[in-house]
């Protein structure tokens, strides 16, 4: 029997609902249950793929090629369950499916309305693609009270009513602000937020109250009384020093015990959280530290590099070091001498990106890393920039560029117009829509024998997630290889370069895919583990 847990947020945004959901998923797993996590986003974009990273944060790509909300990254990092297309939906997608059905004549005769047509489509999504999961956790994006959320709240209310309280739990995440002048944690915003939920017919059975200090019994009693729930189901979600402490901390507050109690499930033994404790221990007490310079364009919002930042932390966990991140806006390198900013870093990483602005800076960062033998990790765009740099400065192709920045005589990076996915042929041209048309999701790559990456992965074939429209042009392979850049990973048909490396450099690797999307704190990605190890070596040199 599958049970559903709906997680809503109130009072303010950015309360960490996604992390709370992910941590509850991990705790239920530790109790032996099979979980699935989903995100329902009220905005009107069909998916976040076309949104600016500095507004919306990272776009998390699933194996099956969906561009999804970054919370799905938290879900995967905490539970290890690979997210699927069917785990994230937006109002935009719901409405476009309803409108497509209307045009098709599926509702013939009916007036198409939010209730029941839109709410039915939302319920269909919640119910869909579920098999033997014990728990499906659905996080509703946004804050209760937003106009956009209403159809979602109405849909989960109906859904809860249909399956019954014994199978549906509503958890509301709120904030208890501390007011120094009063010397108190204030419960009123929480009371109001629960009232707001009640006004749409949802009585949460449990509250997760974010606060920077423990909740005194008196306040807890007050919240329980006014919000109409058992006192022990008012859970304190205290601030923690590392996100990997969240499962342990929530468990200490009785979160998972109360969830099981709600469903009438016996919480037999203590769950084994030693894995999380070990991770936290490594994060808190590392044996050394390294500094990685991340040269990107979206550094004004660190959320745009969410998985990347976490993967670097994972690389640190694997090597028992703290990884300090020095975020650098690539435009600071547009003037040549700005490379002084890179002196002293133990590794340089150029992440994914789009568009021409800031690219000369990224190319300079790659050049600095190559010439000064500093470990370099180029991810997607960062690989393309490293190839342009090598073409210009190693292979003598001075005008080398990417067609992403306009037409060029030496397109070492060009638009992908055709590729295969399984048995399907994918075709694109310059006129194609921008939404959902990149080369997305998991694709295999074949690794060259005796290459560094083959050694790192310890496998001849790998599968990694992709999100790109341009590719390194295979026609320049010979020239680049003669100049010293090895094409060490290719698509199985040998047409798309997937990995390049410099054999006579301590660690210089560019990958066309996004390894950061698959790294977990309990299973750090081998490329990040290896990159951080190289950075440790580098730190011993300087």
Cβ 81 vs Cβ 131: under 8 Å = no
Secondary structure of 369-401 in the HEC alphabet?
Answer: HHHCCCCEEEECHHHHHHHHHHHHHCCCCCCCE
Helix, strand, coil % (nearest 5) of the chain?
40, 25, 35
297 part of the interface to ligand GLN, by CB under 6 A: no
Catalytic residue selected from 76, 468, 516, 525: 516
- CB closer to ligand GLN, 380 vs 486: 380
- CB closer to ligand GLN, 68 vs 193: 68
Residue nearest to ligand GLN (CB): 352
CA–CA separation, 89 and 66 (whole Å): 10
> Of residues 381-440, which lie at the interface with ligand GLN (CB under 6 A)?
381, 404
306 part of the interface to ligand GLN, by CB under 6 A: no
Question: Is residue 314 annotated as part of the catalytic site, yes or no?
Answer: no
Catalytic residue selected from 58, 139, 380, 464: 380
Cβ 536 vs Cβ 346: under 8 Å = yes
Q: How far is the CB of 515 from ligand GLN (least distance, A)?
A: 12
Question: According to CB under 6 A, which one of 10, 25, 151, 353 is a site residue for ligand GLN?
Answer: 353
- Helix axis angle for 150-163 and 119-127, nearest 10°, is 60
CA–CA separation, 304 and 292 (whole Å): 17
Pairing state of beta strands 486-490 and 439-447? antiparallel
Q: How far is the CB of 404 from ligand GLN (least distance, A)?
A: 6
380 part of the interface to ligand GLN, by CB under 6 A: yes
Q: How far is the CB of 363 from ligand GLN (least distance, A)?
A: 14
Question: According to CB under 6 A, which one of 43, 354, 405, 522 is a site residue for ligand GLN?
Answer: 354
Q: How far is the CB of 402 from ligand GLN (least distance, A)?
A: 8
Question: Is residue 468 annotated as part of the catalytic site, yes or no?
Answer: no
- CB closer to ligand GLN, 193 vs 330: 330
Q: How far is the CB of 355 from ligand GLN (least distance, A)?
A: 7
Q: Which stretch binds ligand GLN (CB under 6 A): 48-56, 127-135, 352-360, 448-456?
A: 352-360
Site for ligand GLN (CB under 6 A): how many residues? 10
φ, ψ of residue 316 in degrees (nearest 5): -65, -45
Question: According to CB under 6 A, which one of 142, 160, 352, 414 is a site residue for ligand GLN?
Answer: 352
> Of residues 450-489, which lie at the interface with ligand GLN (CB under 6 A)?
467-470
- CB closer to ligand GLN, 316 vs 358: 358
- CB closer to ligand GLN, 94 vs 387: 387
- CB closer to ligand GLN, 364 vs 454: 364
Contacts of 260 (CB under 8 A, 6+ apart): 31, 266, 267
Kindly state the tokens that stand for 517. Answer: 């999307």
- CB closer to ligand GLN, 278 vs 360: 360
Q: How far is the CB of 469 from ligand GLN (least distance, A)?
A: 4
Radius of gyration of the chain (CA): 25
In three-state secondary structure terms, 172 is strand
Q: Integer distance in angstroms from the first to the last C-alpha of the chain?
A: 59
Q: How far is the CB of 473 from ligand GLN (least distance, A)?
A: 12
Q: Strand pairing partners for 211?
A: 238
- CB closer to ligand GLN, 61 vs 208: 61
Question: Is residue 380 annotated as part of the catalytic site, yes or no?
Answer: yes
Q: How far is the CB of 499 from ligand GLN (least distance, A)?
A: 14
> DSSP assignment, residue 458?
T
Sign of CA dihedral 437, 68, 277, 134: negative
CA–CA separation, 236 and 434 (whole Å): 43
Cβ 412 vs Cβ 402: under 8 Å = yes
If we measure between CA atoms, which residue out of 499, 501, 507 comes closest to residue 535?
507
The alpha-helical segments, DSSP class H, found in 80-228 are 91-104, 119-127, 150-163, 188-199, 217-227
Residue length, the chain? 542
Residues that bind ligand GLN (CB under 6 A): 352-354, 380-381, 404, 467-470
Active site (catalytic) residues: 380, 514, 516
């Amino acid at each position: 029997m599958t049970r559903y847990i709906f997680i809503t947020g109130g009072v303010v945004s950015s309360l960490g609902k996604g992390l709370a959901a992910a941590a509850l998923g991990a705790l239920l797993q530790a109790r032996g249950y099979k979980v699935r996590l989903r995100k329902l986003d009220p905005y009107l974009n069909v998916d976040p793929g076309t949104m600016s990273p500095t507004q919306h944060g990272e776009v998390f790509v699933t194996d099956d090629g969906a561009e999804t909300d970054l919370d799905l990254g938290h879900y995967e990092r905490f539970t290890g369950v690979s997210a699927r297309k069917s785990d994230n939906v937006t109002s935009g997608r719901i409405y476009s499916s309803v409108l497509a059905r209307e045009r098709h004549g599926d509702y013939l005769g009916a007036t198409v309305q939010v209730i029941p047509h839109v709410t039915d489509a939302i319920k269909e999504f919640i119910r869909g693609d579920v098999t033997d999961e014990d728990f499906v956790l659905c996080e509703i994006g946004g804050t209760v009270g937003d106009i956009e959320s209403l159809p979602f709240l109405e849909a989960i209310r109906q859904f809860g009513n249909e399956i019954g309280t014994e199978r549906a739990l509503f958890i509301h995440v709120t904030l208890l602000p501390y007011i120094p002048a009063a010397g108190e944690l204030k419960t009123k915003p929480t009371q109001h937020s629960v009232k707001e939920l009640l006004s749409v017919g949802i009585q949460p059975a449990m509250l997760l109250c974010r606060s920077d200090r423990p909740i005194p019994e008196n306040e807890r009693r007050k919240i329980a009384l006014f919000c109409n729930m058992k006192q022990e189901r008012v859970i304190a979600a205290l601030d923690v020093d590392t996100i990997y402490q969240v499962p342990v901390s929530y468990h200490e507050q009785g979160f998972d015990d109360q969830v099981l109690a709600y469903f009438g499930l016996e919480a037999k033994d203590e769950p084994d959280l030693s894995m999380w404790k070990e991770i936290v221990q490594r994060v808190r007490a590392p044996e050394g530290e390294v500094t990685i310079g991340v040269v990107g364009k979206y550094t004004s919002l660190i959320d745009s590099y969410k998985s990347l930042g976490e993967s670097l932390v994972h690389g640190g966990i694997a090597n028992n070091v703290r990884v300090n991140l020095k975020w650098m806006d690539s435009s600071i390198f547009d003037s040549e001498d700005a490379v002084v900013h890179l002196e002293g870093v133990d590794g340089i990483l150029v992440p994914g990106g789009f568009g021409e602005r800031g690219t000369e800076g990224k190319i300079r960062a790659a050049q600095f890393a190559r010439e000064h033998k500093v470990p370099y990790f180029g991810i997607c765009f960062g690989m393309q920039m490293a190839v342009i740099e090598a073409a210009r400065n190693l292979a003598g192709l001075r005008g080398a560029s990417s067609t992403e920045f306009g037409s060029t005589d030496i397109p070492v990076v060009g638009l992908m117009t055709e590729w295969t996915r399984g048995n399907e042929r994918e075709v694109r041209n310059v006129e194609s829509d921008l939404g959902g048309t990149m080369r997305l999701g998991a694709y295999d790559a074949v690794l060259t024998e005796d290459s560094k990456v083959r050694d790192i992965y310890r496998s001849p074939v790998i599968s990694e997630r992709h999100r790109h429209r341009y590719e390194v042009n295979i026609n320049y392979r010979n020239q680049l290889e003669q100049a010293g850049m090895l094409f060490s990973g290719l698509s199985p048909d040998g047409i798309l370069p997937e990995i390049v490396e410099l054999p006579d450099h301590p660690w210089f690797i560019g990958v066309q895919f996004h390894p950061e999307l698959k790294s977990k704190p309990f299973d750090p990605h081998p490329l990040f583990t290896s990159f951080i190890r190289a950075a440790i070596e580098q730190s011993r040199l300087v």
